[in-house]
Amino acid sequence: MGPRMRVAFLYPGQGTQRPGMLHDLPGHPAVAATLAEAERILPGSSQHDGARALRSTVTAQVALCVAGVAATNALAAEGVTPDAVAGHSAGAFPAAVAAGALTFAEALMAVRRRGELMRDAYPSGYGMAAVLGLSESQARRVIESITTGHDPAYLAVVDTDQQVVVAGSTLALKRLTVAAERAGARRVKGLDIGVPSHCALLRGVADAMAAHLGTVPRRHLTVPYVGDSTGRLLRDADAVLDDLARSVATPMRWRDATALLGELGTTLFIQTPPGDVLARMARAAHPHARVITLAETGIADAALLARRARAPSGTPPVRGRE
C-alpha cells in the first residue's frame, strides 16, 4: 500500500457556499496572491461571493474552487502539503489542483464550464435534498416509491451511514419529505443547489465535461486523490480527470472516500473553507483522528498540527482548537 498517509485535505462542494466566503478567507499572503491570480484568469472570480451571486450554480462552483486553492496555497507556503486529497462534488476540482492533475487556470475554466452546463441543462424545476436518519437501502426504497416518469428522483450522494442526498424534480422532492419522514427519517433538508447533480439526468453534462477535460495535458500526480464517485484511491491523471467528468452524473460515495482515508492511516483531516460539513462527517467516521477546519483553526496552527501529525511517535502532542 506504500507509506501511511497522515494528513488529508478535504474540499467542500456546492451547498456549503455562503455570502462573504472569499472575503473571509484567512489573512495570508498566499491567499491574497491566489485571489489576484484568480482575477487575472477569470475576472470577477475573486469578488463574486455576495448572496445574489452565489445563487448561480456557476458562481458558487467557481468561488468554491478559488477558496480551496487559496487555502492549499497558504498551507503550502507554511511548508505543509497533503498526503492525500478528496473533494466533495465541485470540491473535487481544487482537490485535483492540489493533486497536480490540474493547474489553477484549468480548474477555474473547467468548473465554470461545469456550472454553465448544469445551469443550462436544468435552469429550473429541479434540486437536491439531504435525508438524515435513513440508511442507503431505506433511502432507495423511499426514492422508488416517489419516482414517476414526469417527476424523477435519484440517490445522488451517500455521505454517511445515516445521511444521503436525493436529486430530482421539485415535485418529487416535495413527495420525498413526506415519504422519508414516514420511513423514519429525522429530517429532510433542501440544499442550496438548483440542479439535479450526481444522477443520470446529467449524463449529457458528463459527456461534455469529458470532452472539455480531454484537452488537458496529462501529468504525474504529486499527491494521491480519492475519487468521490468511486471512493477509491486514484494515482494517475487519466483516472482523476475521468472522475471529474463522470462524477456529475453518477452517485457520489463520500462515505467510502472518508472511510478509505482512515484506512490509509490518516490521523489529521483538514477541511478547507467554507464551513465545517466535511469535518463533521470525518469526525463522526474517525473519532480517534484529529479533525480541524481552517475557518476555525487558522493557517499557522493547522500547519503546526500537520507537522506534528507527521512527527515520529512519542513526540508530545500539540494543543489546538478542533
pLDDT tens digits along 293-304: 999 999 999 999
Alpha-carbon distance of 229 to 210, in angstroms, equals 15
Kindly report, residue by residue over 66-120, the tens digit of the pLDDT: 999 999 999 999 999 999 999 999 999 999 999 999 999 999 999 999 999 999 9
Whether 321 is in a domain gets the answer: no
Residue 174 reports pLDDT greater than 60? yes
pLDDT at 3: 54
* 117, three cell numbers: 452546463
Whether 317 is in a domain gets the answer: no
Residue that is last in its domain, among 162, 194, 226 = 194
Distances 168 to 86, 195, 264 between C-alpha atoms, Å: 25, 8, 34
Q: Are residues 51 and 117 in the same domain?
A: yes
Alpha-carbon distance of 155 to 252, in angstroms, equals 9
Residue 318 reports pLDDT greater than 50? no
Q: How many CA atoms lie within 13 A of 73 on its CB side?
A: 24
pLDDT at 313: 60
Burial of 197-227, coded b for 16+ CB within 10 Å and e otherwise, reads bbbebbeebbebbeebbeebeeeebebbbbb
**Prediction pTM value:** 0.93
Residue 149 reports pLDDT greater than 90? no
Sorted by sequence, the CB contacts under 8 Å of residue 159 that are 6+ apart come out as 130, 165, 254, 255, 281
Kindly report, residue by residue over 11-68, the tens digit of the pLDDT: 999 989 999 999 999 999 999 999 999 999 999 998 889 999 999 999 999 999 999 9
Alpha-carbon distance of 83 to 310, in angstroms, equals 10
Residue that is last in its domain, among 136, 168, 194 = 194
Q: Are residues 217 and 115 in the same domain?
A: yes
**Distance linking the first and last C-alpha atoms of the chain:** 29
Number of Cβ atoms within 10 Å of the Cβ of 4: 11
The domain of 296 spans 7-121+201-309
Residue 284 reports pLDDT greater than 90? yes
Mean pLDDT for the stretch of residues 171-186: 96
